[in-house]
């Protein structure tokens, strides 16, 4: 899958003096049905997470709190996206290598996934990813 399809998507933001509200509808704001939600938090300073690719899973990552960088890689070109607001997120199609880094203190990264958890969907070895037939 092309790196060009990996993109920041802005979400609705309902501004109110009592506080802001943002929402996501699967298939409406993001191009897949949401099957799973998980979040990454309490990441110690300097830690890197998520060095892998998914064969089928598409995902959408939002920094609900704090900030982090997501580096996406198609085996040839790398692109880094900074997530630091809860009213936008990064859509990552299947088949791209990615990792997350530079987590700020108390950051929370929410990941919406198009699939249930399946370990066989992961490619965790970068050398294997490089020779994996990209669709
Ligand atoms: P992993 O996806 O490797 O984390 P990261 O990419 O952020 O470093 O998942 C870490 C562990 O958690 C791994 O043993 C699989 C397990 N896991 C689940 O059981 N269910 C899930 O939905 C996720 C995302 C991970």
Chunked mean pLDDT (size 10), the chain, 135 residues: 91 97 97 98 96 97 98 96 98 97 97 98 97 85
pTM over 0.75? The answer is yes
Q: What is the CATH number of domain 3-131?
A: 2.60.120.10
Catalytic residue among 29, 52, 94, 99: 52
Q: What is the pLDDT of residue 134?
A: 80
Q: What is the pLDDT of residue 135?
A: 66
Which of ligand 1's atoms lies nearest the C-alpha of 40? 7
Asked if 26 contacts 71 with a C-beta cutoff of 8 angstroms, the reply is no
Q: Which residues line ligand 1 (CB under 6 A)?
A: 36, 38, 40, 49-50, 52, 117
Alpha-carbon dihedral angle through residues 67, 97, 33, 7, given to the nearest 10 degrees: 60
52 is an active site residue: yes
**Angle value at C-alpha 79, between 127 and 61, nearest 5 degrees:** 95
Taking the C-alpha atoms of residue 41 and residue 108, their distance in angstroms, rounded to an integer, is 5
The Å distance, Cα 7 to ligand 1 centre, comes to 23
């Amino acid at each position: 899958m092309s790196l060009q399809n990996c993109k920041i998507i802005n979400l609705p933001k309902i501004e109110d003096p009592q506080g802001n509200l943002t929402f996501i509808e699967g298939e409406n704001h993001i191009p897949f049905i949401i099957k799973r939600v998980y979040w990454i938090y309490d990441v110690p300073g300097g830690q890197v997470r998520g060095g892998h690719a998914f064969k089928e899973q598409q995902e959408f990552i939002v920094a609900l709190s704090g900030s982090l960088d997501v580096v996406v890689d198609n085996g040839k070109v790398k692109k880094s996206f900074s997530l630091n607001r809860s009213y936008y997120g990064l859509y990552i199609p299947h088949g791209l290598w990615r990792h997350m880094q530079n987590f700020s203190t108390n950051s929370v990264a929410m990941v919406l996934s198009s699939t249930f958890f399946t370990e066989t969907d992961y490619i965790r070895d970068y050398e294997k990813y490089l020779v994996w037939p990209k669709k």
